[in-house]
Amino acid sequence: MFMKKIENNLNTEQIQAVLETEHPVLVLSGAGTGKTRVITYKTAYLIAEKNIRAEKILALTFTNKAAGEMKERTYTLIMNHTQINPVFKNLWIGTFHSVCARMLRFHAKQLGYTPQFTITDTDDQNKLLKELIKEKKYLHLDKIGRVKEDISRAKNNFLEAEDLFHLGETKADEYWIELSKLYQDYNNYLLKNNTMDFDDLIVNPVKLLYQEPEIRAYWQKQFDYILVDEFQDTNKSQYLLLTLLMKPDGKNLTMVGDDDQSIYSFRGAAIENILSVPKDFKDLVLIKVVQNYRSTPEILDLANFVISNNKNRLGKELKAVHSSFQNTLPSLFASENDKTEAQEICQKMLVLSEEHPDWKLAVIYRTNAQSRIFETVLNQSRLSYTILGTKSFFDRKEIKDVIAYFRLIINPKDDLAFKRIVNIPLRGIGDVSVEKLSKLADEQNLSLFETLEKIYRDQVKPSLKPSVIKELKNFYLLISELYELSGKNPEKVLDILLDATDYKKFLDTYDNEAERIENLNELKRYYDSYFQEDEAPSFENFLAQLSLLDHSQNENDKESFAEKKIFLTTVHSCKGLEFDSVFITGLAEEIFPHYLSVSTEENLEEERRLFYVAVTRAKKHLSLSYPKTYFRNRNYEFLAKSRFIREIPADKIIKEKNGSSLDDLKDLSGFSF
């Protein structure tokens, strides 16, 4: 009965992948080919047709959502199409981290932990590292993002503290010498407090399985079959984990993935894992699933051609199941600058939405900072939209901090703005001091900043430490000087503010500092262009313009995905999704490919994979665009179009006439989805 279900719902290559149970299997499953379907059908097949008990199957993926869907679909398949009622309570379907945490409960004592160990999340990890750095007075570990990344990298490469110390001595670099000490301090703290971080959840089982033959034999006997989804996203330690869990000959291992969609090296994913599988497994069955159920032939032709320029790949060509949509080739247009590019894309989306009201439309860009120009244009045009994977540009911490400074400069009665930034960057003005200041302000019937002015002029004497009073007076001077500057030379306020506060250095203490600084640079670009291009620029008007923007909801709002129409997203955030129409924007050198990713062939190939992933999100309509000039350093600079565009043959794309400069989108105002 279940075999009939397989034959009716899977294609030839998928059926082969499901039925192969005697050899190690690598399923090279391209974008839009239904890779997760192979995992769920094979799990159900093993239970329904091969009589394998559910708890003897291990199925691994990378997100809780994917694991939940995998478990639900497998259960539904078995319940609806067999007479079996499996006990799913003990089913081993989950993320690498959740499965490893479950395994570690059995063997925590061998590692010096109790089975009740807890898991330290990212926020707690940041706090702990900062406390240890401060306590030990490490002078060279000021960038917490780098410190955390290097500790994670050390763990996943199974390095000890002495390895980092030796590296520091070899390089004569105090950073690595201090990091080796912090690494030891950090690991000692975790062990003492019976807690593990996320890297430990993978690394510790690998150590156990490698060092303890009896434990390795136990888990190899536990799992008759191991199935892995999104195999291209595995890192070194996850790959080692799989080789230690599988049977010695590897015949019980099925890996499903796509080397052309390996885009997470910044998280530690190693494309070498999937590329080395044909060499690592002697009797490997390699199956290429290439029937694409998403995109038109024209879109896939373009995707296939561009990705073929990568040398380090196993090689495949996607084939469209669906026919052409109105015989339309993907299109390409150039705009004078990124502002007119955003305006024209909005214009095109309006036309498409009127012609196809049920379509989902996506703007895909390389970095989060690029959302700003689209948010601005869409908000001004009153077009509703949703940002995937992150907050609205104007809701990001670093942007809200700067805007709070702007608000206080303009309005000394804005206590909310005052409280947000009086200790940002850190000035030693804690919550207790702010609370005392607030009580004093209430007694004086003044705002916090007005009270600060009285303190500065020694007209009132607060019950605060002298060091705090000194910092408060300095803060008052800073805001007062910026207020004066906002009237005389408003175009300089942002630069002076960032320099005077050393705000960018302050961001070193946060995760993703490079992305945060990129967001600040984008805000500066917006700020500079306003004062250069607006007919009657003023500091007050710029702040009003920001405040009037009707910020979009992020992906966690109350509407379901099905109810939404326009999406803004980076490539990384939209992987696994699909849209009727896709606009890939900013296809110019230095933007896409990113200027930090063109120095090596390895990085450039990942950039090309990113472009490939973006292209293969499109179902029916694909538009590519790039700005001929880009505003930065208070000037428009010419940019070369992306090499990825230059790689596309002329017969695979329609080149539109150069975009026109749209001064406004009055015909869009009032329109919303």
Active site residues: 35-36, 229-230, 261, 617
Strand order in the sheet with 57-61: 92-95, 57-61, 225-228, 253-257, 25-29, 285-289
Q: Is the peptide bond before 593 cis (omega within 30 degrees of 0)?
A: yes
Coil vs helix vs strand at 438: helix
Closest CA to 618 of 218, 303, 403: 303
In which element (H, E) is residue 673 found? none
CA separation (Å) from 367 to 259, 341, 371, 572?
22, 16, 8, 9
Q: CA 159, 165, 167, 169: dihedral to nearest 10 degrees?
A: -170
Q: Strand 361-365 vs strand 566-570: parallel, antiparallel, or unpaired?
A: parallel
HEC letters along 66-98: HHHHHHHHHHHHHHHHCCCCCCCCCCEEEEHHH
Name residues whose C-beta falls within 8 Å of residue 59's C-beta, 6 or more positions apart in sequence: 39, 43, 70, 74, 92, 93, 94, 226, 227, 228, 229
What are the two backbone dihedrals, phi and then psi, of residue 271, each rounded to the nearest 5 degrees?
-65, -20
What are the two backbone dihedrals, phi and then psi, of residue 253, each rounded to the nearest 5 degrees?
-110, 125
| 231 close to 264: Cβ distance less than 8 angstroms | no
Amino acid identity of 480? S
Other CB atoms within a 10 A radius of the CB of residue 137 amount to: 7
| 305 close to 648: Cβ distance less than 8 angstroms | yes
183-216: buried (b, 16+ CB within 10 Å) or exposed (e) per residue?
bebbbeebeeeebbbbbbbbbbbbbbbeeeeebe
Q: Dump the DSSP string for 363-424.
A: EEESSGGGHHHHHHHHHHTT---EESSS--GGGSHHHHHHHHHHHHHH-TT-HHHHHHHTTS
Amino acid identity of 274? I
Other CB atoms within a 10 A radius of the CB of residue 166 amount to: 15
Closest CA to 447 of 424, 404, 480, 414: 414
